[in-house]
Structure 1
Amino acid sequence: MSQLFHGTFVHTVDGKLEILENTYMHVKDGKIEYIGKDKPAFEGEIQEFGENKLIMPGLIDCHIHAPQYVFAGCGFDLPLLEWLNTYTFPAESKFKEVDYAKRIYKAVVDRTLSSGTTTACYFATIHTPASHFLAEECKKRGQRAFIGKVSMDRNSPDFYIETTEDAISKAKEFVDSFKDPESIVQPIVTPRFVPTCTPALMKGLHEIIEKHPHCLIQSHVSENLGEIAWVKELHPECPNYTSVYEEFGLLNQHTILAHGVHLTDEELKLLAKTGGAIAHCPSSNFMLYSGICDVRRLLDAGVKVGLGTDVAGGPSPSMIHAMQNALICSRANLFQHRKDGQEYKLLETADVFYLATEGGANALSIGDKVGNFKVGKEFDAIVADMNTGLCDCFTKEKTTDLLDKFVQRADDRNIIRVYVRGNLVKSTAK
């Protein structure tokens, strides 16, 4: 299939914002073949997106708990560990019923696609059949995704826990079941977090990674101070939280760890050395009062950073809301640095846009495929109409102003088309 697009393209290249106005893009068989000012030879209808519309890379959610969508927005009077026991574990345990899981997972994929999420890195639950359904639903709807069948064998309620042997064998079975390396849906090894995974389980998951060296790994790290203290009690032999993952062979260039709010300088060096990434989840960090992550510090240390909604720690499945909160989080860091008499470089609109697109692609080890509009990459994109929903344009506005409005004011109503690998997976355009 060959398609020609014409309009204003906005993306980042190596973290730098690039605006391409009055530009043509030729997409063939899902890949970008040409982008430039001159109209290429093309037979067929040109897809024109004119005044106050933006064509941007698809948004990449590096951390979202699909089963938790059920109670998104609830329970924010509780800190993390209490919230897990009160809301999360009871809700996730229900996904042993596949019919129930189907209803929820269909809604999650629909909602995230409608919000412009072309790639989602999902935590599922410990239940293999339901996790397989989530993978199939993503394929059916055309959403690029990583599906994590959760592994957990300690410090969990009796009604929601695995034996070590089952956790390892089911994780292996799940990863082995994905046969097509070119599919837009792939498995991701998912130890929930250190407190719920025994050393034996983590060693077993490492053996899966040895067999599948390109398989991604996801978990959590240094989300709040109580969690960090707990990990220290469980693993006094390790100098810090991040090093536990390294100790058990679960930290490499394909690892993405959510939060990283309280990382030490030593942990930053370890992440930079190994190539591990952080999924910045500002909405969740605020709502569960875990802390304020200094993303600028992570980036300056050479750590890969993407952005996540962290539903249901974050109340919204919208990556636009995650970008908004990343900007607010950066301003909160500025206040603290000013209080301490220090200079601080804020995250700007272009920075959080990078985190939600190119940065997320790099964090998920798919930067060679998606994240921006370089020739040869796959066409994962969204088209935003910035004169609808909560946004009004009274003249033809500057592209930089439109991008500001998109990050600060847009929602799913503004996203009129969504493409994954060149396929139109959502359209509200007339």
Structure 2
Amino acid sequence: MVENLIIFGTLVSSTGLNSLEVVPGYLIIEDGKIIRKGTSREFVKLEAQDAFRGFHIIKLQSDQFLMPGFVDCHTHGPQFPNLGLGLDRPLLEWLEKYTFPLESQFAATEYASNVYSQVVRRLLTNGTTTACYFGSLDLGGTMELVKSAVNLRQRALIGKVSMNMKNQSGYYNDTEREVDDSTKFVEKVLAFDNDLISPVISPRFALSCDNELMKKLAELAAKYNCHIQSHISENVEEVNEVLRQNPGCVNYAEVYDKCAILTNKCIMAHAVHLTDAEIDLLKIREVGIAHCPASNTRLRSGLCPVRKLINHGLRVGLGTDVSGGDSASILDAIRRTMDVSTHLELQHGLHRAINWKEAFYLGTLGGAKALSLDHKIGSLEVGKEFDALVINVFATGGPIDNHPNTLEATSNEYNEGLVQRFLYTGDDRNITQVYVKGHLVKNGWTVV
């Protein structure tokens, strides 16, 4: 049973790309949903009238604030054991040498269970309340990721990876088995009847799946109204090879489009080297983009022009892309996003860099929009489910020192400063509580 809560203190939430609301007030949460939002003055009046009987009241301290949970639009659960390895290799070589051999080990369900329990805990520790996961090629192994997310109460979109093109590692299935396993996976996930967990059809990318398989997977997604996830235009060598194998297509996006992969429930990772025509096509198809600045940099894939994508109307969120990315934290992705965008502005001056308020949006509400989940999560609005973080900026043992400050702790400037401090210099030690649909899933140092 979810405890009914009232949280009183500084509330921080995006209302748009460059609109960050930092206000004192309170939320009432019933059955995991925000049912009321009000001012500090209202709270004091109602509390004096004993109007909150039956609710557990949490009063935040002056150096704390409440914010929406982070949304990770793209990460690879089975790649976490490789975190920090092989990042001096280009994408295609990295896949063959490090990634495919590791992922093949997840056919052993005990191994998969042990790893995935740690993976979900790690993301929750870092404040990721919603994650969009790639699993492995193996059906049984990927179901262990589903079980871990269910048991630890993380909101998750989970895909069993699909591949039928031969590679040096021998890590692929034939088409018939792949379609059968993907169908079974979707049905097994849906059988949990858990509204926090959704199956995602997951063709790895156009060099791992032929057109026949991708068309069948698109049909499967349409049949069950599932999300689809894949990768697009991550690396120049990858783009060139896709076009060589598909001479009838003028660009990478057209390969997916001819297979009916591009839908309004499709999330594509990277999008570093899109042409203007591809951007227009993705906009028309209402495809979401997962920007993964860490892996784009570490694997030397390129600097994604996020401002350009946003200016063209694409829905963009952030992804950690472990283990191409070297951090499991969306807080890190927020900083990398600002860095990459600033580098592009310094180099070319074509587009204004992403600022901290916009980066906050991309890590929360923007990610929810990219995953077509913004009707449920991403901001602290009435009617949405309560996925949220309590941030203690000057947490004992944390990375931020509490120096004397002339600003009053109740001023808006002071409160905005707390948010900036956390975004630029904080880490998981500052995330003292994590809620998913009203459930407390991290308290202090412990994932519960």
Q: Normalized against structure 1, the TM-score is what?
A: 0.96
| Alpha-carbon distance in structure 1 between the residues aligned to 2:191 and 2:107 | 24
Q: What residue in structure 1 maps to residue 399 of structure 2?
A: 390
Partner of 1:418: 434
Aligned twin of 1:345:
352
Quick check: 1:276 aligned with 2:287?
yes
Equivalent residues of 2:79, 2:102 under 8 A apart: yes
Pairwise mapping of residues 211-360 of structure 1 onto structure 2 (< 5 A)? 211-213=223-225, 215-338=226-349, 342=350, 344-360=351-367
Which of residues 7, 24, 34 in structure 2 aligns to 1:22? 24
1:386–1:410: 8 Å Cα contact kept in structure 2?
yes
What is the identity, as a one-letter code, of the residue corresponding to 1:310? D
For residue 429 of structure 1, report the CA deviation from its aligned partner.
7.8
CA contact (8 A) 1:117 1:319 kept: yes
Equivalent-residue separation in structure 2 for 1:190 and 1:429 (angstroms):
33
Partners of 1:78 and 1:363 lie apart in 2 by: 29
In structure 1, C-alpha distance between the alignment counterparts of 2:157 and 2:250, rounded to whole Å: 30
Deviation of 1:305 after TM superposition, in Å, equals 0.4
CA–CA separation in structure 2 for the residues paired with 1:223 and 1:126:
21
Partner of 1:110: 121
SS of residue in 2 equivalent to 1:194: coil
SS at match of 1:418: strand
Structure 2 CA distance for partners of 1:429 and 1:321, relative to 1, 3 Å: closer
Q: Which runs of 4+ in 1 moved over 2 A?
A: 14-22, 155-159, 179-182, 393-397
Change (3 A) 1:297 1:196: same
1:62-211 aligned at under 5 Å gives the runs 62-177=73-188, 178-179=190-191, 183-211=195-223
State how far apart, in whole Å, the 2-side matches of 1:273 and 1:56 are. Answer: 32
Separation in 1, partners of 2:358, 2:191: 36
Amino acid of the residue matched to residue 294 of structure 1? P
Matched to 1:42, the amino acid is F
Post-superposition shift, 1:333?
0.7
- Unpaired segments of 5 or more residues in structure 2? none
Moved more, 199-208 or 390-399: 390-399
1:372 maps onto 2:379 in alignment: yes
Q: Across the two proteins, how many residue pairs are aligned to each other?
A: 425
Query: What SS class does the counterpart of residue 239 from structure 1 fall into?
Result: coil
* Cα distance in structure 1, aligned partners of 2:178 and 2:140: 14
Deviation string 1:164-200 (CA, Å, 9 cap, x unpaired) is: 1111110011112213666101100000000000111
Task: Give the SS at the match of 1:196.
Answer: coil
Partner of 2:52: 42
Residue type matched to 1:377 in 2? K
Q: What is the RMSD of the two structures over their aligned residues, measured on CA atoms?
A: 1.4
- Rounded to whole Å, the distance in 1 between the matches of 2:22 and 2:193 is 33
Given residue 4 of structure 2, which amino acid in structure 1 is its aligned partner?
A: S
Partner Cα separation in structure 1 for residue 135 and residue 66 of structure 2: 31
Mapped contact 2:263–2:287 kept (Cα < 8 A): yes
Deviation digits for residues 9-56 of structure 1 (CA, Å, limit 9, x no counterpart) = 111113243334321100000000111111252114410111111210
Does the 8 Å CA contact 2:289/2:315 hold for their aligned counterparts? yes
Alignment partners' CA distance in 2, 1:17 and 1:415: 23
Task: Say whether the 8 Å CA contact 1:32–1:379 is kept in structure 2.
Answer: yes
User: What is the CA deviation profile of residues 70-92 of structure 1, one whole-angstrom value per residue up to 9, with x for unaligned ones?
Assistant: 01111111100100011000110
Q: 2:6 matched to 1:4?
A: yes
Q: Partners of 1:152 and 1:416 in 2: how far apart?
A: 40
Aligned counterparts of 2:255 and 2:219: Cα–Cα separation in 1: 16
Task: Say which SS state the counterpart of residue 229 (structure 1) adopts.
Answer: helix
Percent of aligned pairs with the same residue? Answer: 41
2:37 partner letter: I
**Secondary structure, in 3 states, of the residue corresponding to 1:398?**
helix
Contact 1:65 1:124 in 2 (8 A): yes
Cα distance between partner residues in 2 of 1:149 and 1:303: 26
Alpha-carbon distance in 1 for matches of 2:64, 2:255 = 47
Q: Does the residue aligned with 2:207 lie in a helix, a strand or coil?
A: helix
1:64 and 1:308 in contact (8 A); partners too: yes
Secondary structure of 1:25's aligned partner: strand
* Alpha-carbon shift at residue 410 of structure 1 (Å): 1.0
Determine helix, strand or coil for the equivalent of 2:440: strand
- State whether residues 96 and 169 of structure 2, in contact with CA within 8 Å, keep that contact through their aligned partners in structure 1: no
* Structure 1 residue 346: Cα displacement: 1.4
Query: Which residue type is aligned with residue 298 of structure 2?
Result: M
CA distance in 1, matches of 2:445, 2:391: 10
1:209 to partner: Cα distance: 1.6
Instruction: Give the CA deviation at 1:257.
Output: 0.5
State the 1:242 CA deviation: 1.1
- How far off is 1:408 after superposition? 1.1
Aligned-partner Cα distance in 1 for 2:178–2:169? 14
Contact in 2 for aligned 1:152/1:161 (Cα 8 Å) = yes
